[in-house]
Chains A and B, each alone.
Chain A
């Protein structure tokens, strides 16, 4: 990253490398913050010792190794996946407002996961089937929304509106199931708004293979996605099987969403912000856009979770001084992302 740009104008590639470098540094910084600060404050040295298992204090080792580290890793993985899914969706739908949570994919996945957990197998942490179940739900929902939108599919706003309404219906259904099984507030917040509370290594083991495989797959298809961006007829003229490529990318995006949802619930708006800001920084060529927006979203999610944690640890509402409160990360990402969505929406509306 420290090599000087050879050309006068900074080429996209150099900008890409710089962006990735900065993002990695930011990610590292937030990971350290996340590991060190919490209800138990630690110094950097203590964190390192705890990770390397050379700490004498078994309690600290437990906090860092068993509680904070898997949580941070899962945050990174789901941030990566959601950001990548958002980028893919924006590219193939040519819709700046597309995002897994806004087109119904997350809510559909959540509903199926909750159904599966209630009626088939209840243990979330060890259940490797969950991502597949979630994928089924996501695919059905997205397919349904596309069908509802009909032939008029390129109307960006209408697609999102349908998606939002379908999401609210599916969320109600999820709430209904959760209330029926008399689950607590934590599980309702988890599934409808997304939460990283209490994630453990078993869930990380379920999620990282998905993240890795799908990331590699989408990078393999990135060049084809670049052709798709030129428009269907040009892409077809250049010898690209348009529909098949789009379907594959759509499936990858659905799988990315499903895998993250099955572990952290429906975290909103993360897949929207990452790709947009990454696009501003390095342009919209998918070969660079995909990894950059994935990384950006990962940084955002880790940061949001750290902010949420710090708020719930350091900030008390009156009368709640002695209670353990947990702020779901989804609320933080919504508060970050919804204003951004309004900004994007205004741009789309005024352009019209």
Chain B
């Protein structure tokens, strides 16, 4: 596949962004391990991470609290970004994202009801329920915006469905818990606080399965980006592929929401930034790179959430919405026409 000059070009172009992102990621990693309460010395940190020595307290904090949190942010960010890439490709709509199309809110509502009602469901099965909720939310949006042209209508539909689901969520939390702000914010905005190795363990198998599955669909997405007519002319079963891709998307999102709540705008922005970097929308390159980009964005945002107002911690979803929403407005300004094509 590398004999096409265009692909080769994009293939070479991918190296520089990958290096930059890895470099930034290493920086974020260092910050996330070093700072906080207590702040580690560089020397102590090396001891703890590499040799397993160091003070008891420091070893405990770095290995049991900071490391799993960082890894979880990495996995969630990558999965969210991958799902955003898939969705934008499948819908052929650069403004699509799971949180704008009701998937995150649906998954979040089911997760919140499991928590609030204390349903006797094993942790391993939580993502499956989240997936069901996410699919229901997404299906509601897709069905109710059927027959409308252009991206804006579908986005507004998604936002109203999200508003309904969030309304139910607030009812649930206002009635079901006494004054639990944390729960509200975990399921309304998303947070990475208080996560342990358990969460990483639950997340990892999904990550290892779903990302290759997502990569498998990049060819189909490349075709879909050419428009429905061209894609079906090239032998792609358009509707069926689209539905399968959306289900994969929902799977990626559901597990993230089940562990961390609906963290907004990562899935929307990572693919955009990646396409800007690469100056190409070839999904075979955009998908892995945007997964990396999403991982960097989320872990970096989590450091802000953790450290900026320390010792107070603001849920990371607040920050991603603040920054991501503003960037999204800029992208919206660029796409002035009603409908957006690849």
Contacts and interface: CB of A to CB of B under 8 A. Distances in A.
Interface of A: 148, 150, 152, 155, 157-158, 160-162, 164-166, 168-169, 171-173, 175-176, 179-180, 182, 184-186, 188-189, 193, 268, 311-312, 315-320, 323-328, 330-332, 334-335, 338-339, 341-342, 345-346, 348-350, 352
Contact of A166 (B156, B164, B312, B329): B329
Given A161-B332, A334-B166, A335-B164, 9 more contacts: A150-B336, A152-B336, A157-B153, A165-B328, A172-B325, A193-B170, A325-B174, A325-B176, A325-B178
Given A164-B159, A325-B174, A328-B170, A349 B145 contact: yes
B184 A186 contact: no
What 4 A-B pairs come out closest when comparing CB atoms? A349-B148, A334-B167, A169-B325, A172-B321
Contacts of A331: 167, 170-171, 174
B117 interface: yes
Contacts of B173: 185
A317 B332 contact: no
Nearest to A188: B181
Contact of A312 (B159, B164, B175, B321): B175
Interface string B301-342: 000000001001011011101100110110011001010000
**Chain A at the B interface: mostly helix, strand, loop or mixed?**
helix
Interface residues of B, number: 55
Given A165-B328, A175-B185, A338-B164, A350 B147 contact: yes
B329 A148 contact: yes
A345 B171 contact: no
A168 B175 contact: no
B296 to A, nearest CB: 21
Contact of A342 (B117, B160, B184, B336): B160
B167 A335 contact: yes
Contacts of A171: 321
Contacts of B145: 349
A332 B175 CA distance: 13
Nearest to B178: A323
Contacts of A148: 329, 333
Interface of B: 116-118, 144-145, 147-150, 152-153, 155-157, 159-161, 163-164, 166-168, 170-181, 184-185, 189, 264, 309, 312, 314-315, 317-319, 321-322, 325-326, 328-329, 332-333, 336, 338
A325 B164 contact: no
B318 A172 contact: yes
A348 B157 CA distance: 12
Nearest to B313: A179
Contacts of B116: 317
Nearest to B184: A185
Contact of A173 (B118, B167, B322): B322
Contacts of A327: 171, 174-175
B156 to A, nearest CB: 6
A162 B174 contact: no
Nearest to A345: B156
Given A168-B321, A169-B326, A320 B178 contact: yes
23 contacts: A148-B333, A150-B336, A157-B156, A158-B152, A169-B325, A169-B326, A172-B317, A175-B185, A176-B314, A185-B181, A185-B184, A189-B174, A318-B118, A320-B178, A326-B174, A328-B170, A328-B174, A331-B167, A332-B171, A338-B161, A338-B163, A349-B148, A352-B148
A148 B328 CA distance: 12
B322 A317 contact: no
Contacts of B309: 180
Contacts of B317: 172
A182 B312 contact: yes
Contacts of A320: 175-178
A335 B167 CA distance: 6
A19 to B, nearest CB: 27
Contact of B318 (A165, A175, A346): A175
A312 B178 CA distance: 12
Contact of B179 (A185, A332, A334): A185
A339 B153 CA distance: 15
A179 B138 CA distance: 30
B163 A334 contact: yes
A350 B145 CA distance: 9
A193 B174 CA distance: 12
Nearest to B169: A331
- Scoring A150, A172, A326 by chain B CB atoms within 10 A of each residue's CB, the highest score goes to A172
